Structure 1
Amino acid sequence: MTPRRYHLFLNTQSGTVQAAGITEKMLYDAFVARGLDVVIEKNPEAGFAERVESALASDTEVVVAAGGDGTVTGLGAAMHESGKAMAILPLGTANLLARDLSIPLDINEWLDALPTMTEHHIDVCTVNGEPFLHKVVIGLIPDLAAGRERIRGGGFRALLGFLSYFVRRVARARRFALEITTSKGETRIERVQALAVASNAYDEAPGHFFSRERLNAGFLTLYVLRHLTLGKMIKLAAGMLIGNWKQDEELEIEAVQAVSIRSKKPRLQVMIDGEVESIATPLNFAIRPRSLTVLAPPAPDEPRATFNELQAGEV
C-alpha cells in the first residue's frame, strides 16, 4: 500500500480540544513520530470556509477532521464528491459518526490504527441543499438543545436551571401540524411534537443508542413522534438501551428516498447534526448515495439491503 499523505484540520475552538490542551503541533509531532506524512495549515486562524478550501486544494489524499461532530459534518459536507478521503480524529463529546464506523476514540490508538484504515463510501443527505451526515430534528428537541447551549460552561447552577427549564418545556409542549410528502407521492398531515429525518436507519439492539450499522444503504428514515411527555421520553430512552424502542406506540417509522415537509410557518427551528439553526420552509430532503469517502477500520463485507426490503419492515 502506498503511504498516504494527510492534511491536518484541527478545530481549535472545540471545547474538548481546549479542555484537553490539544494543539496542532502536538498532533503534528505525533504523526511524524509514527512516520506518517502530514502537513498542517498555513493559516490556522483563517475562517472555516477558507480553511476547507485550502485543505481541498492541497496535494494530500486525506483530510483529517480533528474535532467533534460539527467539525466532521462541516468538513464532510464540503468534501463529498471531492475525490479526497476524510479521516475522523474524534475529539468531541458524542463522536457519533466515529462510533458508527468503529473508529478508535483514544488519540494514540487512532494514530496507530490510521495506516491500516480502509476507504468506506457513505451516504450524504441534504435538506434544502445543505448536507448532513446524521439527522435533522424538528420540534421540541431543537428547543431543548438551544436551551442547553445557553448554559454551556455555566457551572452547576446553570445546569440546575436547565433541568428546571427542560421539565417545564416538556410539560408545556404542544403538537403542531406538518404536511409530509414522501417519494412515494403520498401527502398527509401529521400533528407531532417532534420529527426526525435520518441518514439510513438507527439500529435496535441492546446498548445501541442512536447508532447505525449501515451508512450506505441509500435511503432516509422518517421518525414521527406524536406525543412526547417527560415519562414517554424516559420510556423511549430506556427502550433504546434495552433494544426494543421501535415498538413504541407513539413512534412511526418510515423508509423513504426523499421527503418534503411543509409548515404554516415560513421558517422552522431545526437541529442539524447537533447544531440548531433556522431554515426556510418547505424542507426538502434528498440523499446522495455513497458520495463521501471516509477512512475507518476494515469491516466485513455484508449484503447491502435494498430499499424495497426496508419498506417490507426491515428498517
Structure 2
Amino acid sequence: MTDAHTTKDQPHICVLINASSGKQGADGARARIEKAFQSAGTPAEIRVLAKGGQISTSAQGALDDEFDIIVAAGGDGTIAGIAGTLRGNGTVMGIVPLGTFNYFARSLDIPEDIESAVELILNGAQRPVPIGTINGHTFLNNASLGAYPAILRTREETYRKWGRSRLAAYWSVLVTLVTLRRPLKIHIEADGYARTHRTPLAFAVNNAFQLRQMGLEGEEHIAAGRLALFVAPDTGRWGMLKNAAMLAMGRAQRDIPFDLIGAKQITITAHRKRNDVACDGERSRMRAPFDLRAIPDELTVIVPKDRQAGTR
C-alpha cells in the first residue's frame, strides 16, 4: 500500500466527469475541479462524458493513454461504470462525488466537497476495495431485481421534469409502488441454500455503510468477503409501500421480515428470461440466470491515509 505521490512528484491524472451527474452540471463541476488541481500545482486532463453513456469507452480511452490516476467524477453509477473498466488493470482510481446519495464515496470517508476530494486524490493513500458483479457487470454498492429497477425508470422521468433531489427520488418510490404490477418468481442457490421465492424485490449489497443507512443487518457477511442478498416478502402493494417507508427511515430490519443470504457466489434463476436490473442506480436489461459474485482486491481507490483496507 502506497501514498498517491510515491511513484512520481507529478502523477499523470485524467478526470472523467459525467455531464448529467449532480445539481450543478458538468460546467460548474469542471471549473471547480480544474481550479482545485491548478491551486495544488498538479495538472490534470479533464474529459467530460457525453450524456447517456459511453462511460466504459471513455474509461478505456484513459487506460489506453496510460494515466497514473483516473478520477471518476459523478454519482455512484458513473463511478461503478469506470470501476468496471479499471478493475484488474492496476490503474488507481480517484473519486470526486457528484451524485445524489454518494454511497460509495461516503463508505470510504471520501469528502463530498469537490475541493476536499481533489486534495485527497493528491495526498491520500491507495487501498484495495472489494467489488460485486452480476453477470460480469460491476457494482460497488448494490444490484437489484424487481421493484427497484422500476423505481429507477420512474425516477429518470421525475428528474427530467423536476431536477435531481432526494425528495424527487423518494417520490419516485411512491409512484412506482402504487402502480407496480406483479412480483417476481425466482429460484436462489448459494452455498447450500436452495429455495424458490415469490417476491417484489431482491437485492444484493456489497457496502456495509449502505446497510447501516437502510437499517439492515448483514455487515458480518460483507466483512467476510461475501455479498448480502435480501429477498423481500410478498406483502402486496400496500405492504410494499409500508416496507419502502421503513427502508427510507432506516428501520428495515426491525419491521420487514427479509430473507438474508450471505455468499461469495449466488445464482438466481428467474421465471422471466429478460429482466430489468439496477446496479448502483443505473438500469439495464439482462438475461437470466443471474450470476452474482463478491470479488476482492481488483480495484484500488485513493482514500484517507487512516482508512484501512477491508469492510466499508
TM bin (shorter chain):
0.7 to 0.9
Identify if the C-alpha distance between structure 1 residues 275 and 59 changes in structure 2 by more than 3 Å, giving closer, same or farther: closer
Q: Tell me, yes or no, if the aligned pair for 1:224 and 1:252 is still in contact at 8 Å.
A: yes
2:229 to 222, 235, 242: 222
Q: Tell me, yes or no, if the aligned pair for 1:100 and 1:213 is still in contact at 8 Å.
A: no
Which one has the largest radius of gyration? 1
1:233 is aligned to 2:239: no
RMSD, aligned CA = 3.2
Residue 224 (structure 1) shift: 1.0
Q: Secondary structure in 1 aligned to 2:29?
A: coil
TM-score (norm: length of structure 1): 0.80
Q: In structure 1, what is the equivalent of residue 265 of structure 2? A: 258
Identify if the C-alpha distance between structure 1 residues 211 and 11 changes in structure 2 by more than 3 Å, giving closer, same or farther: farther
Cα-to-partner distance string for 1:128-154 (whole Å, 9 max, x where unaligned) = 111111111111122122112122231
Q: Which amino acid aligns with 1:285?
A: L
1:176 is aligned to 2:187: no
1:30 is aligned to 2:32: no
Q: Which amino acid aligns with 1:108?
A: E
Q: Which amino acid aligns with 2:15?
A: L
**CA distance in 2: counterparts of 1:209 and 1:99, whole angstroms:** 16
Identify if the C-alpha distance between structure 1 residues 130 and 18 changes in structure 2 by more than 3 Å, giving closer, same or farther: same
Cα-to-partner distance string for 1:83-141 (whole Å, 9 max, x where unaligned) = 11100011121111111111111112223333321112111211111111111111112
Bigger shift: residues 227-236 or 14-23: 14-23
Q: Secondary structure in 2 aligned to 1:70?
A: helix
**CA distance in 1: counterparts of 2:41 and 2:49, whole angstroms:** 23
Bigger shift: residues 99-108 or 247-256: 247-256
Identity %: 27
Identify if the C-alpha distance between structure 1 residues 6 and 81 changes in structure 2 by more than 3 Å, giving closer, same or farther: same
**CA distance in 1: counterparts of 2:294 and 2:162, whole angstroms:** 40
Q: How does 1:237-252 map to 2 (within 5 A)?
A: 237-238=248-249, 240=250, 245-252=252-259
Structure 2: segments with no counterpart, 5+ residues? none
Q: Tell me, yes or no, if the aligned pair for 1:202 and 1:210 is still in contact at 8 Å.
A: no
Q: Secondary structure in 2 aligned to 1:151?
A: helix
Q: Secondary structure in 1 aligned to 2:20?
A: coil
Q: Which amino acid aligns with 1:170?
A: V
Q: In structure 2, what is the equivalent of residue 313 of structure 1? A: none
Q: Tell me, yes or no, if the aligned pair for 1:123 and 1:216 is still in contact at 8 Å.
A: no
Residue 55 (structure 1) shift: 0.9
1:132 is aligned to 2:143: no
TM-score (norm: length of structure 2): 0.81
Cα-to-partner distance string for 1:287-306 (whole Å, 9 max, x where unaligned) = 2212100001123558x68x
